[in-house]
Each structure stands twice: as C-alpha cells, then as structure tokens.
C-alpha cells in the first residue's frame, strides 16, 4: 500500500483514534490501520471506519465527557 499524500510505504499497525464531539472526547485504543512511514498519515479500511463510527455513536449515548475504549473489546 502506498501513501496517497507522499507516496511512501504504508505499514500495517495499530493506532489510537481520537474524536472530539460536541460534548465529549472519544479515545479508541488499538485501532488497526495503515500508517505511512514517511509522513505519518494514517488510513483506516472501510470496515474499521464503519466500526469506529458505531463505537462513537454508542458512546455518545453514555453521556460521559471522556470515553476511553479498546477497539478489540468495544
């Protein structure tokens, strides 16, 4: 896989996903992704992106200010 920004090599790894919503901050750890070794650009595949959306949606209902979850168990 090649980075669409700089053309560098993208390696399979995991990352911590942050999302700031209106009333809360969502942190999802150990999210599988591809990361560029040159510029650090991170991409998620479609399945992962969908799952992140689902997790975020669920967490929004919990009314906590900061939610930290692990991707693999969320």
Question: Which of residues 8 and 32 has its CB atom nearest to Zn ion in the complex?
Answer: 8
Q: Around Cβ 34, how many Cβ atoms within 10 Å?
A: 19
Torsion of Cα atoms, 56 then 62 then 63 then 65, to 10° = -60
Binding residues for Zn ion (CB under 5 A)? 3, 5-6, 8, 36, 38-39, 41
Nearer to Zn ion, 7 or 14 (CB): 7
Closest contact distance (angstroms) between CB of 47 and Zn ion is 22
∠ CA(49), CA(51), CA(53), 5° rounding? Answer: 70
CB of 20 to Zn ion, least distance (A): 24
């Amino acid at each position: 896989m090649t980075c669409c920004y700089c053309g560098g090599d993208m390696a399979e790894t995991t990352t911590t996903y942050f999302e700031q919503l209106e009333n809360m901050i969502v942190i999802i750890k150990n999210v599988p992704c591809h990361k560029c070794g040159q510029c650090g650009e991170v991409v998620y595949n479609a399945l992962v992106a969908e799952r992140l959306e689902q997790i975020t949606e669920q967490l929004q209902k919990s009314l906590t200010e900061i939610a930290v979850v692990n991707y693999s168990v969320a």
